[in-house]
Amino acid sequence: MKDKLGRVIDYLRFSLTDRCNLRCKYCMGDKDIVFLPKDELLSVEEIGRVTRIFSDLGIKKVRITGGEPLVRRNFRDIIETINNIKTIEEINITTNGIRLSEELEFLKDKKIHSLNISLDTLKKDLFREITGGGDLDKVLFSLYRAIELKFKRIKLNVVLVRGKNDSEIMDFVNLTEKYPIDIRFIELMPIGLGKEYVPISNDEVKDIILKEKKLTPFNERIGSGPATYYKTEKGIGCVGFITPISHNFCEKCNRVRVTPEGFLKLCLHWNDGLNLKELLRAGVSDEVIKEKIQLTIDSKPDRHKMEKKDDENFDKRYMNEIGG
Tell me if 189 is assigned to a ligand binding site. Answer: yes
User: What is the rounded distance in angstroms from the CA atom of residue 68 to the CA atom of residue 220?
Assistant: 29
Tell me if 72 is assigned to a ligand binding site. Answer: no
Tell me if 256 is assigned to a ligand binding site. Answer: yes
> What are the residues facing 196 on neighbouring strands?
none
Tell me if 238 is assigned to a ligand binding site. Answer: no
Tell me if 94 is assigned to a ligand binding site. Answer: yes
Tell me if 299 is assigned to a ligand binding site. Answer: no
Tell me if 19 is assigned to a ligand binding site. Answer: no
Tell me if 44 is assigned to a ligand binding site. Answer: no
Tell me if 27 is assigned to a ligand binding site. Answer: yes
| Cβ contact 74:313 at 8 Å | no
Tell me if 67 is assigned to a ligand binding site. Answer: yes
Tell me if 145 is assigned to a ligand binding site. Answer: no
CA atoms within 13 A on the CB side of 265: 24
Tell me if 20 is assigned to a ligand binding site. Answer: yes
Tell me if 13 is assigned to a ligand binding site. Answer: yes
Binding-site residues from annotation for [4Fe-4S] cluster: 20, 24, 27, 250, 253, 267
Bind-site residues:
13, 20, 24, 26-27, 63, 67, 94, 118, 155, 189, 250, 253, 255-257, 267
- Residues making up the annotated binding site for S-adenosyl-L-methionine are 26, 67, 118, 189
Which residues are annotated as part of the binding site for GTP? Answer: 13, 63, 94, 155, 255-257
